[in-house]
Structure formats: C-alpha cells, structure tokens
C-alpha cells in the first residue's frame, strides 16, 4: 500500500513529545513490511529552530516538510500553517491508498479530511489524547470548544478513530455516541530489542549528586498538564525521610519558572536538578541510571516515556491520569489517584527501600511491554484498519 502519514512535527523534533516517536516507529515498521510510506509534516524543530532539509529519504521513508508561516505560532498555539501544503495535498492525495493523521486540531487535518472525502480515500485520525476534557479545559479553552465544532467533520468522515486507551475511547464517545463504532483502541508500541544493551551512565558525577542520594527521575515536557508541580509537593514530604535528587529531564514549555519558584517555596533547592532536553542514546542511558521514575500527570493519552522507562526495567509510580493500569497489574510499579499525595510518598519509600526487588521490577516491566505494547501487534491492527 501507498500510505501517507500526516503529522505537524516529526523526527528530529523530539521536543514535541511522544507522538513524534510514535509516528516514526509506526512508519519505519510499515516500511519494513513493504509499504510505501510518505510523511507530510512541517519544518518545525522547536520554538526557535527549523529543520532546513525540506525533503529527504531515510530508513525507507520519504519525508516532505513544509515551511511554517511562523515557528513560534506553531509551537505556542498549535498554529501549524505550512506554506504550499494545500496545493500539494490537492495534487497528490489520489496517489495514496490510505492516510494516517496524527494530532487533531491542525490545519493539515482539515485539508486532508476534505480531499480524502472528495476522492474516497480512507483516513485514520489519531488524536493522541488531545480530545480529553482535561486538555479541552486548560490552554485555549474557548478556542478549542469553537475548533471542536469546526473539526467535527474530520472525525465524522474518518474511516476510523484511534484511541490509545479505553479511557480515551470513552472521552471520544462522550463527544458523540455515533463515534463508538468507528473508535478502535490501539496503544502505542515499542520494539523491546531497541532497548537491549543500554548501559548506565554516572549521573552522580555528571550532575554532582551526593553518592548517598537516590535518583528519582521525570522525563517529559515542562508544562502544567504534566503535573511536575504535584511531584514536587509529594517529594517535599520526603525531605526528612530519605536522601534523594529529583532529576527533571525535558524541554521547557513555559512552566519552568513556576517550577523553580515551587522548588524554593518547598525548600527543595538542594534536591532538584533541571537537566534540560535529552534524546537518543543519552536519554536512554539516563533513564537506565535512575532508581525510580515519578509521573504525576494531570492527563495523558498513553505516554511514550512511561513505556520507554518500562522497557528499560526501571520501576515507576504513576498517577491514574497517565492511563497505564498495566503498570500495577504487571507489578512494574504503582498507579495512584492524584488526590492521595501521601500514598505517592509512601510508595516511593517502599520502592527505594526495597533494593532486593530491583530484578522483579525489571522482569515485570519488560513482560508488560512484550504482552501489551508490542510494535508488531500495534502495526498489525493499523494495517487491518487501512484495508
């Protein structure tokens, strides 16, 4: 099949979070299966930088990037306005057998939905959690409500809507019960072999961390919805119970100043390090070197970072809003309601004081990925939807 992947940001724009890697991994796997994959995206790299190469071929993919009118508008307001995309889609859409659209509130999706309907080409829409009530009621609340009406046809005319979890499916159906039949749950997937032979790095030396400290990690974007401020409140309860360093890894999306104020307010200055953006091998080595990961997100679709941490065998404590109940089911960590901050602190102590359980967390985490989040199974399901 000739398949078009449509996403507003693509490799190497990792600062945009999990959907970048999800789309990349699916595209690579489908290409290996003999499909002809084209990725239509924009030139954004981050808030300030663009990707200069507008067309390239690698790993069996053809990547076409369209220049955004404004890179800051794209990053700050989801205002992806790629120059020439409309004309390109109009002239080329009929050469594809199926289209897979990622994200939701984008100009590209409106264009693709229009031409796919016109020429009877099936397309899948994967919102990646952007339709959840929590996200609708945070940034640009009024605008999103208006946009949801404008984007209504994008959902209605799609062949299928891909939800990452049963919870996301319920959220999509709450928009309109008619979406129930066409909404399919397909989680994010990983290839476990990509996480073999990852070595630890000396974080104590790199960040000048006292040797007696346990290292608690967070990896992801610094934005309100990710709940890093909640993690700081949880960790403030442990100041007199255990020596730790909280390593915050990820790009700032306007929240770092608030978090820095919170650190001072909670008297955690000597226990928190903002490590900035890490990707690729360095990111994996850093994950592997932490004792525990703490994710207290207010809302997620299905966070890729949680799956990556699990693939490396590191125990995790998650808010239930992360939507990965498998963590607790498989004994790979704990899942807790956000309102129960004392429970978070107790479970952190439970994990960090039980050194002899390290091997069981490793085995349980890896089994969870194999059983539930295999990229091979994920791509089988996507292929079937496209037929």
103: left (phi over 0), alpha (psi -120 to 50) or beta: left
For 311, phi then psi, to 5°, come to: -65, -25
Joined together, the tokens standing for residue 44 give 């954004």
The dihedral of CA 114, 117, 121, 124: what is its sign? Answer: positive
Helix H, strand E, coil C: the string for 109-127 is HHHHHHHHHHCCCCEEEEC
- pLDDT value, residue 151: 87
pLDDT in tens, 182-195: 999 999 999 999 99
pLDDT at 149: 74
Asked whether residue 356 carries a pLDDT value surpassing 60, the answer given is no
Least confident of 48-57, 284-293, 357-366: 357-366
Confidence category of residue 355, pLDDT binned at 50, 70, 90: low
How confident is the model over 62-78, as pLDDT tens digits?
999 999 998 888 777 77
197 and 182 share a domain?
A: no
Among 135, 159, 186, identify where a domain stops: 186
Instruction: Give the pLDDT confidence score for residue 145 in this predicted structure.
Output: 63
Identify the CATH number of the domain in which residue 113 sits: 3.40.50.2000
Query: Looking at residue 119, what is its pLDDT?
Result: 98
Number of domains, the chain: 2
Residue 50 φ/ψ region, left for φ over 0, alpha for ψ in the -120 to 50 degree band, beta for the rest: beta
Q: Which domain holds residue 101?
A: 2-186
Residue-wise pLDDT tens digits, 111-163 = 999 999 999 999 999 999 888 876 555 555 566 566 677 788 999 999 999 99
User: Are 294 and 211 in a shared domain?
Assistant: yes
Domain boundary among 123, 153, 186: 186
> Which pLDDT score, from 0 to 100, does residue 357 have?
74
> What span, in angstroms and rounded, lies between the C-alpha atoms of 174 and 263?
38
In this prediction, residue 134 carries a pLDDT of 64
Q: 215 and 169, same structural domain?
A: no
Exposure on the CB side of residue 198, measured as CA atoms within 13 A = 22
Inter-residue contact 169 to 131 (CB < 8 Å): no
Domain presence at residue 277 = yes
CA nearest to 251, candidates 294, 204, 218: 218
- pLDDT the model gives residue 17: 86
pTM assigned to the model: 0.82
């Amino acid at each position: 099949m000739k398949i078009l992947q449509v996403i507003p940001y693509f490799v190497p724009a990792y600062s945009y979070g999990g959907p970048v890697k999800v789309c990349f991994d699916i595209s690579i796997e489908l290409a290996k299966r003999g499909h002809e994959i084209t990725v239509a995206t924009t030139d954004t790299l981050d808030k300030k930088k663009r990707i200069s190469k507008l067309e390239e071929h690698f790993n069996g993919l053809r990547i076409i990037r369209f220049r955004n009118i404004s890179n800051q508008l794209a990053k700050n307001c989801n205002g992806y306005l790629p120059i020439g995309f409309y004309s390109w889609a109009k002239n080329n859409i009929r050469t594809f057998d199926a289209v897979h659209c990622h994200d939701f509130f984008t100009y590209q999706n409106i264009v693709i939905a229009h031409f796919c309907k016109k020429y009877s080409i099936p397309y899948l829409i994967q919102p990646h959690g952007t339709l959840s009530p929590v996200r609708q009621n945070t940034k640009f609340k009024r605008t999103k409500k208006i946009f949801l009406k404008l984007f209504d046809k994008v959902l209605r005319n799609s062949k299928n809507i891909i939800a990452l979890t049963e919870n996301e499916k319920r959220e999509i159906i709450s928009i309109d019960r008619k979406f129930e039949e066409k909404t399919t749950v397909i989680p994010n997937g990983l290839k476990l072999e990509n996480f073999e032979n990852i070595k630890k790095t000396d974080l104590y030396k790199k960040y000048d961390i006292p040797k007696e400290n346990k290292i608690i990690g967070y990896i992801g974007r610094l934005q309100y919805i990710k709940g890093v401020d909640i993690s700081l409140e949880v960790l403030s309860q442990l100041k007199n119970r255990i020596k730790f360093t909280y390593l915050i890894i990820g790009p700032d999306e306007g929240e770092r100043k608030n978090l820095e104020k919170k650190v001072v307010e909670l008297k955690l200055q000597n226990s928190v390090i903002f490590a900035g953006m890490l990707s690729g091998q360095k990111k994996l080595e850093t994950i592997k070197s932490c004792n525990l990961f703490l994710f207290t997100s207010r809302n997620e679709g299905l966070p890729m970072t949680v799956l990556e941490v699990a693939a490396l065998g590191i125990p995790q404590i998650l808010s239930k809003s992360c939507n990965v109940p498998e963590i607790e089911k498989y004994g790979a960590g704990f899942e807790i309601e956000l309102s129960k901050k004392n429970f978070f602190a107790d479970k952190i102590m439970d994990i960090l004081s039980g050194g002899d359980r390290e091997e069981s967390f490793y085995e349980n985490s890896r089994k969870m990925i194999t059983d539930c989040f295999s990229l091979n199974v994920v791509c089988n399901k996507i292929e079937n939807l496209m037929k």
